[in-house]
Amino acid sequence: MPARHEDPPVSLLQCASLKGRGLLSLDDLTDDELLALLDLAAELKQRKRVGIRGNLLHRKHIAMIFEKTSTRTRCAAAVAAADEGGRTEYLSARDIHLGKKESVADTARVLGRMFDGIFFRGYSQQRVAWLAEYSGRPVWNGLTDESHPTQALADLLTVRERFGAFKGVKVVYVGDGRNNVANSLMAGCAKVGMDFVDCTPPSLAPPRDLVAAAERVAAANGGSVAISHDPALAVRGANVVYTDVWASMGEESKMEERIALLKPYRVDMALMNATGNAANGALVFLHCLPAFHDRNTDLTKDIGAMEVTDDVFESKMSLVFDQAENRMHTIKALFVAAL
C-alpha cells in the first residue's frame, strides 16, 4: 500500500534513541545511530520526491544562530523545517546580543524557553557546546572552526547513494587536511568503515588525537584511516576524491600562504586519472561547496582555479549538487528524529 501523508517514515522507529538530542560533533552518534539517520534521510528524500509533505515538525520552532555566512546550511535547515510544518528564525551575529551584551549561557537559557531547538553556525566549538548545555534543547552544529557534522551526513548519504554500500569504498580528501570538513569527514568515514586518506601538507595535518581516535573507530568497522602528503600516490584506487576551500571562513588573511602551500594539492583531471578509476565509473568527485573553481568567482578570475579545476568540477564524476541537495534531507532527518 502506498505511504499516506500521515504515516510516519518507517525508519523513524530506528531513530528512537535520537529523540531530544542535537548534534555537536559526529562523536555524539553511535555507529548504528549514524546509519539509522542516513536511512531516515533517504526515506524523507524519497517521500519528498513523490510529493509527500508531512507534519512531523508541526508547530516546532528552531532558532538559527549564524555567526558566519551560509548558503546551503541555512537554506537546507529552513526548507527542511518548512517541509514538515516547522519554522525557523534566522538570527545573524548582528541581530542578537550573543557574546557581546549577553553571555552565551543567558542567550541559551532565553532561547531554550521559546524554541524547540537551536541550529548554530560559528567559530567556537565551545560556544555550540554551551548553547546545548544551557538551553536544555537539542542543538545542532551547522559548522564551527573544528567540525561540520551535518556536512558529513550529506557526504555519507551521497556516497551510499552512488556506491550502494560503504565497505571497500576508498575516500581521499585532498587539501587543507585539518579544517572542519576534513575532520568530520574523517570521523564519518571511520564510523561507516570506509578507507579514508587525508592528503595534506605536514603543516596542515589533523591533530594526532583526532586521527588516532578515527583509526580506532575505522579498524573496529573494517575500514582504515591514513595521512598522506603525496596526492598522486594517495589517490591510487580512490572511489571518492574530495576537496574543500584552501582557507576557511575566518582564515581569509591566510589565503596567499595557503595558495602557495596547497597548489600541489589542487584536484585536476590528471589527479582524477591517477586514481585508476576515472574511466571505469568507480570514481566520483565531492566538494562541500562553495568552491573556487576556474572563472566562477571574483577571487579566482585573476588566478584561475584554486582547489579544483573546472573540468573536474563540471564533469560527470562530480556529484557536488547531489551532495548539496542531500544537506537538506539529512538535516531534516536530524530535526525529525530529535523533535
Least CB distance to ligand NVA at residue 34 (A) = 20
From the list ligand NVA, ligand CP, none, partner contacted by residue 179 (C-beta under 5 to 8 A by kind): ligand NVA
Active site residue 5: no
Beta strands at 139-141 and 195-199: parallel, antiparallel or unpaired:
unpaired
Q: Is 234 in the site for ligand CP (CB under 6 A)?
A: no
> Residues in contact with ligand NVA, total (CB under 6 A)?
9
Question: Looking up cell 556516497, which residue turns up?
Answer: 159
The residues in 269-298 that bind ligand CP, with binding defined as CB under 6 A, are 288-290
Active site residue 151: yes
Q: Helix (H, G, I), strand (E, B), or coil: what is residue 119? A: strand
Please identify which residue in 211, 245, 262, 339 interacts with ligand NVA, judged by CB under 6 A: 245
From the list ligand CP, ligand NVA, none, partner contacted by residue 180 (C-beta under 5 to 8 A by kind): ligand NVA
All residues at 6 or more sequence positions from 46 whose CB lies less than 8 Å from its CB, including other chains: none
Q: Would you state the cell numbers that stand for residue 223, as one nine-digit string?
A: 575500514
Please identify which residue in 21, 45, 48, 72 interacts with ligand CP, judged by CB under 6 A: 72
Please identify which residue in 12, 156, 181, 199 interacts with ligand NVA, judged by CB under 6 A: 181
Q: Is 30 in the site for ligand CP (CB under 6 A)?
A: no
- Using an 8 Å Cβ cutoff, are 47 and 54 in contact? yes
Residue 198 to residue 209: CA distance in whole angstroms: 14
Please identify which residue in 147, 180, 323, 326 interacts with ligand NVA, judged by CB under 6 A: 180
Active site residue 121: yes
Residue 158 to residue 262: CA distance in whole angstroms: 26
Beta strands at 284-287 and 139-141: parallel, antiparallel or unpaired:
unpaired
Residue 23 to residue 306: CA distance in whole angstroms: 31
- Catalytic position from the list 189, 244, 293, 323: 244
Q: Within the chain, where are the H helices?
A: 31-49, 72-83, 104-114, 125-135, 149-163, 180-192, 208-220, 231-234, 255-262, 269-273, 310-313, 320-338
Looking at residue 320, its amino acid is V
From the list ligand CP, ligand NVA, none, partner contacted by residue 42 (C-beta under 5 to 8 A by kind): none
The nearer residue to ligand NVA, 85 or 290, going by C-beta atoms, is 290
- Catalytic position from the list 21, 121, 127, 266: 121
- Catalytic position from the list 15, 189, 199, 288: 288
Residue 275 to residue 26: CA distance in whole angstroms: 28
Q: Is 11 in the site for ligand CP (CB under 6 A)?
A: no
Looking at residue 249, its amino acid is M
Q: Which residues are catalytic?
A: 121, 148, 151, 244, 288, 327
Q: Which residues bind ligand CP (CB under 6 A)?
A: 70-73, 143, 151, 288-290
Q: Which residues bind ligand NVA (CB under 6 A)?
A: 143, 179-181, 244-245, 248-249, 288
